[in-house]
Every structure is written in structure tokens, then in C-alpha cells.
Amino acid sequence: MMERRSFVAACSAACGLAGLNLPARAAVAREYPRSVLTDSEGRPLKASSLKPGVNYVFQWPYPATPCFLLDLGRKVNGTTKLRTADGQQYDWPGGVGRAQSIVAYSAICSHKLTHPTRDISFISYRDEATAHSRRARVIHCCSEHSQFDPAAGARVLEGPAPQPLAGIVLEYAAERDELVAVATLGADVFDRFFQSFGFRLALDHGGDRAMKPVGATTRVVAMDSFCRQQVRC
């Protein structure tokens, strides 16, 4: 049986999320077609194969929208009273996996939509502090130096970002050690993202395919393999 860790939206009945057994606090949640996370060979990814502190990327819920998958190396408890830019409060359920240490977020910054591309990434998880940032274990966007706490629902720690990164709700199948992406939590920025980068995304992904759901599976790769250059600030 799937271990289901996610939230209830105020509009859960309309969104089809009631079946996820979500906690009671009103939240911003949006269901998408389910996608099993797979490895580079197309086999269901074993959650226990993730290396703590390494940036992993997968495309979901669209081929053009990258997400971070992180094993933080320790149990990650849920966080309450996160807030979207328009003032809606929600709770975040914490980590999944055998050690409850695995989290996932949209990799599109909530400020200026900075995101990893095949050529370069100005946003990534930092396991250690750098010469330009005193914080360790944060997702750091070098465009405007917004920093997010992946152990607390991607809460904004510093910078101009107006809200947390959208959370990716994962189901964990303990008996198979597998992960499935099922919904976003918080305010995603997909509409603004496609409006801003639609022409380039269409070129990169073959027309309107960029805006169609990824399907039943989506591949997880290390950031080092996903993009050619990572900016460290």
C-alpha cells in the first residue's frame, strides 16, 4: 500500500484530491496525472539509491517544468503555516522514504522564474555554505539570491522571492521502495512560466509537447548530467 503524505486543498473535491487522505488544514493543492519516477534505464527508481546531498532533477508535471528531488540525509518533519504570495496558508507534510528524508520541489524560482536548463542552472541545492552564502543545506537561486529551506517546505529564508517553491507531493511505496509524483502543493508558477518562456520551450520540446503531461513515468537524473554548467554563487 502506498504511504500517502500530502495535504488537503480547500477545493479538494473539485481538484480530485480527496482520495489522497490529506490533512485538514486548507491548502493550495493541485492534482496532475501520476508519474512513476524512474532511473536512467527507465526502471522505477529505488528511493534508497538516492545519495544524500546530491541534486537530482526530473521533469514534472510537464516536460518543460523541472523539479528537484533531494535526499536530505535525515528525517524531515512537516511544516505548518506556510503562505503563498496571495496570502493562502498551507501545511507541508515532510519527507518520504524509509528514513522520511526525501523531498521534492518545483525547480522554478518563485521570483523571476529562474530554472535549470540543459545549458546552465542558476538555482540548485547547496549542502554546504559557500564564499557568497553563509547558509548550508539550502536551495539557492543566484539570479537574485533567494534562498529556500528544503527541510521546511522550501520556506523563503532570504532574498526577494515572494513565496516558497511549490512542493511536489510524492507517494512512497514502501514494499517496492518506489516514488510517484501526484500533485503540487503551494502556489505553482506554471502559467507565468509558459507565458514567459513559451517560444523557447516549444523549440526545446517540440511544439505544444512542452505543455502536455509527461505521462506515466518521468526520468530522474543527477543535476551534473542534466545541465552543462552550474553557477555557484
**Angle of CA points 159, 63, 43, to nearest 5°:** 110
Give the tens place of pLDDT for each residue, 50-60. 999 999 999 99
Residue ranges in the chain assigned as alpha helix (H): 12-15, 190-205, 223-226
Tell me the CATH number at 60: 2.102.10.10
pLDDT digits (tens, 9 = 90+) for 161-200: 999 999 999 999 999 999 999 999 999 999 999 999 999 9
**Domain count of the fold of the chain:** 1
Answer yes or no: is pLDDT of 22 > 90: no
- pLDDT number for residue 123: 97
pLDDT (0 to 100) of residue 133: 76
Q: Is residue 5 part of a domain?
A: no
Do 72 and 150 meet the contact criterion of CB atoms below 8 Å apart? yes
Categorize the per-residue pLDDT at 6 as very low, low, confident or very high, splitting at 50, 70 and 90.
very low
Residue 14 lies in a domain: no
On whether residue 75 sits in a domain, the answer given is yes
pTM of the model: 0.89
Handedness of CA 116, 96, 220, 223 (dihedral sign): positive
pLDDT in tens, 79-97: 988 999 999 999 999 999 9
**Residue 41: predicted pLDDT:** 94
Residue 128 lies in a domain: yes
User: Is there a domain that residue 78 lies in?
Assistant: yes
Question: How far is it, in rounded angstroms, from Cα 141 to Cα 115?
Answer: 9
